[in-house]
Amino acid sequence: MTSVLSVIEIIVGILLLFGGGELFVQGSVALALLLGIPQLVIGLTVVALGTSAPELFVSLISTFNGADDIAVSNIVGSNIFNVLVVLGISAAILPLRVHSRLIRRDVPILLAVSMAVWGMASTGRVTWQAGLALLTALVINTVWELRTAKEEGEAEAGGEIDQDDAKGGFLPAFIKLAAGLGLLVWGSQILVKGATAIALSLGVSETLIGLTIVAAGTSMPELVTSIVAALRGKADLAIGNVIGSNLLNQLVILGLCAFLSGDRGISVDPMIIQRDLPIMVATTVACLPIFFSGGVITRLEGGILIGLYGLYLVEQILPYTFPSLDGPIERFTLAALIPALVLLLGWQSLSHWRSTRRLPE
């Protein structure tokens, strides 16, 4: 009975997060427009943060409750989910052609940040000083992004913001913003409570729940946003949503959680350091040839990404179902998942090399 109630809490928490994130974005955009903030700034800050709001509140609530494993695994799991599932499903719906300079600029930054986070976590704890460094990097990157975006034009960097969002004045904007924040806090508390209870009742770690159920649940806004963008043929928006969210997950969410944790810092499960952080970095590396070549993420490649996430889930869940397979399954995943990502990277590089070899007619 307790497990059923916990599952219901998780579902309700995810729904509240989804609704709260939508209201938060609408209210924030409307308020920003009413205050005369440029659409460029809104697109690069408010809207980008809006899709990461569920991860932010879940990780913050987890940190304040002392559930560091859920806080960290939610961030790492969401980043893996975004690349393998969100990007994979978007490409499976419509092959994604990439031309945006902004994305080509953000991918190496994301890779550098991911490797830095892996290094920070390698000691088993992310200190408040490391959190402050991540937040400082966020400020520097945001200022640089805004300056370069102004040179390239507003549409390229932030997209068009619907002016109708500001209709009704300040009161509706404040109501939406307050309601969104309230739902985000409430949904986060319910989701963390349900996830913790599930972990205890099933005898599995909070890390596993955070990497799978919580991470997938908090990534629903990114998934919906990228699917809608793909259906509308906006490849840059679909891909930029993934890259931007992964960057904010580490700079904003991990940075805030570590900084606000004080002297104790945030503890990191050794398994995350040994397995999940390397996989997160590997998924980012696999994006490099896709984005730099200005090529196409085909439906086949999208299917491969989704299949890799399936393999990742098998490695996460099966050892708890069949404990005797724990060692073999882990070795199989490490021997199959990362090489598969390397093959995907090589495939893209070869495709780009062949395309550059073709002479114009």
Sign of the C-alpha dihedral, residues 250, 251, 253, 256? Answer: positive
Q: Can you tell me the distance from the alpha carbon of 216 to that of 191, in angstroms, rounded to the nearest whole number?
A: 12
Q: Who has greater pLDDT, 177 or 151?
A: 177
Nearest to 294 by CA among 351, 243, 248: 351
Inter-CA distances, 240 with 43, 49, 169, 259, 329, Å: 12, 13, 31, 27, 33
Tell me which amino acid residue 11 is: I
2-157+169-356 CATH, one of 1.20.1420.30, 3.40.50.2000, 3.40.50.1980, 3.20.20.60: 1.20.1420.30
Most confident of 99-103, 244-248, 341-345: 244-248
Helix (H) or strand (E) holding 266: strand 266-267
**Is the Cα torsion angle 285, 55, 135, 258 positive or negative in sign?**
negative
Band (155; pLDDT cuts 50, 70, 90): very low
| Interior/surface letters 328-360, b for 16+ CB within 10 angstroms, e for the rest | ebbeebeeebbebbeebbebbbebbeeeeeeee
- CA dist 84 and 117 (Å) reads 20
Compute φ and ψ for 246, nearest 5 degrees.
-65, -35
Q: Which helix (H) or strand (E) element contains residue 14?
A: helix 2-34
296 forms beta bridges with 97
Q: What is the pTM of this model?
A: 0.78
Dihedral of alpha carbons 58, 59, 64, 69, sign:
positive
- Output the pLDDT for position 104: 67
Mean model confidence pLDDT for the chain: 77
Query: Which of these, 113, 85, 91, 130, lies nearest to 244 by C-alpha position?
Result: 113
HSE at residue 192, side-chain half, CA atoms within 13 A, is 27
DSSP 267: E
The pLDDT score that the predictor gives to residue 270 is 92
Per-residue confidence band for 254, with pLDDT thresholds at 50, 70 and 90? very high
Supply the DSSP symbol for 143. Answer: H
Q: Which residue has the higher pLDDT, 331 or 279?
A: 279
pLDDT at 227: 79
What is the residue extent of each domain of the chain? 2-157+169-356
Bridge partners of residue 297, in order along the sequence: 96
Q: How many angstroms separate the first and last alpha carbons of the chain?
A: 69
pLDDT in tens, 35-94: 776 655 665 566 667 778 888 888 998 899 888 998 999 999 999 999 999 888 888 888
CA atoms within 13 A on the CB side of 31: 16
Q: Identify which of 248, 258, 253 has the alpha carbon closest to the alpha carbon of residue 110.
A: 248
Mean pLDDT comparison of 106-115, 206-215, 238-247, 286-295, highest-scoring range: 106-115
328 has a pLDDT exceeding 60: no
- 279: tokens are 């996989």
